[in-house]
Amino acid sequence: MKKFFAALLMLGAFNSYAGIQVDATRVIYKGDDKSASLPIHNDASEAYMVQTWLDTGDRNQVPKNLPVVVVPPILKLDAAKTAVLRFIYSGTGLPQDKETLLWINVQEIPPAPKQENVLQVAVRTRIKLFYRPVALKTTLDEQVQNLRWQREGSRLQVINDGPLHITFGALHLKNSAGKTVDVDANMVNPKDRLSINIPAGVSVGNKIAFSYINDFGGRTEVKDVPVQ
């Protein structure tokens, strides 16, 4: 989940409290479902307006005519209340042989400040939406097991021959003292590869361990993975 801040009123005091909370870190939209959903709630003591939209990866661009829409695109959410955003695919326009990644944007619009000389900040939350076509007869766990790992100098290549995105938590490697070192990794796209830089003093043996982000947003650990 990523959060960004947009200044609304540039005066004196500063208020960056995030009133709107998103109740997940990702949404999995299965192709045989009519829609997918995402609950949001207002933790503040006042009503907030909320604007929602999708993008394809550039947070500064709002693409037109995406085949997936979010409903409602704008809403008023009263204090301590919950709302459900729904994502609806038109049925055409997305690949059916691989997963599609879109980004959900939830932009809060707080009420006007009651005090003068306040710098009020609106929080935008971005999380991933994965559209998984019904034709893909596989699971994320299966695809993780099919990853191929290769050493290339000071880098580790992970090759994803499958149709799903795989987001890593961390690689668990060893330093020269034999202690476990967590190395950050990112996400490998379907039918693509990811090159991971290995820090100095950290070694890659014949087997590694790592964690990945599962469909529920938690981390799943994988051990004894062979490296070529």
* pLDDT, tens digit (0-9, with 9 covering 90-100), for 12-68: 344 445 799 999 999 999 999 999 999 999 999 999 999 999 999 999 999 999 999
Mean pLDDT of the chain: 92
d(CA 139, CA 137): 7
| 59 vs 124: CA distance, rounded Å | 10
Residues whose CB is less than 8 angstroms from the CB of residue 51 and which lie 6 or more positions away in sequence, other chains included = 73, 74, 105, 106, 107, 109
Domain boundary among the residues 110, 135, 160 is at 135
CA dist., res. 137 & res. 134, Å (int): 7
- The mean pLDDT of 142-148, rounded to a whole number, is 98
Rounded (to 5) percent helix, strand, coil in the chain:
5, 55, 45
Q: Is residue 209 part of a domain?
A: yes
Q: Which residues pair with 210 in a beta bridge?
A: 171, 222
Res. 4 pLDDT band, cuts 50 70 90: low
pLDDT in tens, 75-96: 999 999 999 999 999 999 999 9
The answer, yes or no, to whether residue 151 has pLDDT greater than 90, is yes
Identify whether residues 28 and 127 lie together within a single domain: yes
**Residue 93, domain member (yes or no):** yes
Name the residue range of residue 206's domain. Answer: 138-224
| pTM for the whole structure | 0.90
Number of structural domains (the chain) is: 2
Give percent of the chain above pLDDT 90: 86
